[in-house]
Amino acid sequence: MNRLIVPLFLVFCATTFSFAADGVRTLPDTAEAMGMAGGKLILLDDASVVRTNPATLTDIEQSTLTVTFQPWHGKTDFTSPTGVTDSMVNPWKLTGSLYYATPINDTLSAGLGISAPYGVSISWPREGAFRYSGAYDAVLQTVAINPALGLKINDKVSIGAGLDIYRSKLRLEQRFPWSIATGVPGLRDGDLVFDGDGWGIGGYFGVNFDVGERHHFAVTARLPVSVKYEGQFDASNPSVPGLDPASTPFTSEIEHPGSVAVGYGFDVTEKLSIGVDFEWSQNSTHDDVPLNIGANQPLLGGATAIPLNWEDSINIGVGAEYELTENLTLRAGYLYSDSPMSQATYNPSVPADDRHIISVGAGYTWGLNTIDIAYSMLTMDSSDIRGNVVPAFNGNYDYDWDILTISYTRRF
């Protein structure tokens, strides 16, 4: 029985933390940011700077509202070393955001953002290749509320700071073979469900400074945010004399990593600007995830936490925008995102590897209104997993993701 339970919780731990790390972290979330994905720290000037770089708030001259809708479409195909195949289901993932920024006076600006910086749901067939070894449904939904202020020090320097207030929900559903686990023939398979939610709070800041008229620099940093989850654990269909796995309290904790980023922007001409970004995320600070399910703790075989052994990761990219006409702006970008996972801890509930994002976009302005649209192609090399802590996860994984982003901005 322990041989079945421990791999299950390795799946659980890796899944919940991975969504909060660079493995499947959501990308820049407005169409302007996505259109120049690798150069947003300097070039971005819509209301989403509230979260991305609050020092840029001082550049917003009018009260501005930006609303975004972002559908993702993707798939992951799996082939085991023995030739067993499977494919991820529910390919559409929908997210969005809302930001508002306004100047208070000539030097001080304020803003508020609501977004989903971490949160992707991944589902595999309930009776598929990972029937007893992996989660068939794993969901982490994290909503960030970001109040922020920006202050202009002088014509060359501005600073900004904000709060990361997270509301997060975690749910994992796992198929479980009671007959195999208990040795009692004829028992129906059941489901183990872990469901919890919690709050977390952190902070972030940014500094912008110009060197001459054409060179611009930005530095941003984020503190880690720890979220403690509380909820319940349920096990269905045991039907075993003397075994009553009723609902019990479930608690866990996830630390969203801190990060430091630097950006450089260069105005090639009055119409063309180029930006380069580099970001480092400290994923290694979160060594393990506690596993607490009250009276059902014996199901874990004595385990109380599972190590992750993740590594720090980086993002690096470039972006550009060109003002084709007074009303129409064109954008393009490239972003490389390093995965913190290793082959030993790879998890099919987090179908990801090192990511390459190629994006194009455009923005059209009329009066006080702007519509931005961007298309991003997310490519990852196939993962050939060997030596995994859960042998059933060994095999080849192929990925394919496309992202469409549409934003509407209104100035008042």
- pLDDT given for residue 4 in this prediction: 36
Give the residue carrying structure tokens 């100047």: 103
Q: How far is Cα of residue 156 from the mean position of the Cα atoms in its chain?
A: 33
DSSP line for 329-340: EEEEEEEEE---
**Which residues have CB under 8 Å from 45's CB, separation 6+?**
32, 56, 59, 60
* Residue 412 pLDDT > 90: yes
Report how far residue 262's alpha carbon sits from residue 283's, in angstroms, rounded to the nearest whole number.
18
Report how far residue 330's alpha carbon sits from residue 385's, in angstroms, rounded to the nearest whole number.
40
* Single-letter residue type at 186: G
**Can you list the positions of beta strands (E) in 212-349?**
215-222, 225-235, 248-256, 259-267, 272-281, 288-290, 305-307, 313-323, 328-337
Region for 199 from its dihedrals, namely left if φ exceeds 0, alpha if ψ lies in -120 to 50, beta otherwise: beta
Give the residue carrying structure tokens 């004595």: 302
Report how far residue 44's alpha carbon sits from residue 48's, in angstroms, rounded to the nearest whole number.
8
The tally of domains found in the chain comes to 1
**Which residues have CB under 8 Å from 154's CB, separation 6+?**
none
Length reported for the chain: 412
User: Which range marks the domain in which residue 133 is found?
Assistant: 2-411
Report how far residue 135's alpha carbon sits from residue 174's, in angstroms, rounded to the nearest whole number.
5
At 248, which CATH number?
Answer: 2.40.160.60
How many Cβ atoms from other residues are within 10 Å of residue 396's Cβ? 14
The helix/strand/coil state of 58 is: helix
* Single-letter residue type at 339: S
Element holding 5 (H helix, E strand) = helix 2-18
* Residue 218 pLDDT > 70: yes
Who wins on pLDDT, 311 or 260? Answer: 260
* Contact criterion met (CB below 8 Å) for 195 and 171: yes
Report how far residue 404's alpha carbon sits from residue 389's, in angstroms, rounded to the nearest whole number.
36
Instruction: Tell me the mean pLDDT in the region 400-410.
Output: 94
Q: Which two tokens stand for residue 361?
A: 């976009």
Note the pLDDT tens digit of each residue in 28-80: 589 999 999 999 999 999 999 999 999 999 999 999 999 999 998 988 899 99
* Single-letter residue type at 248: T
The closest of 160, 250, 256, 161 to 200, measured between CA atoms, is 256
Note the pLDDT tens digit of each residue in 113-170: 999 887 657 888 888 888 887 778 888 888 999 999 999 999 999 999 999 999 999 8
The whole-model pTM stands at 0.88
Report how far residue 40's alpha carbon sits from residue 49's, in angstroms, rounded to the nearest whole number.
9
The closest of 203, 204, 290 to 17, measured between CA atoms, is 290
Least confidently predicted of 100-109, 164-173, 295-304, 311-320? 295-304
* Contact criterion met (CB below 8 Å) for 391 and 66: no
Angle at 114 between CA 111 and CA 118, to 5 degrees: 130
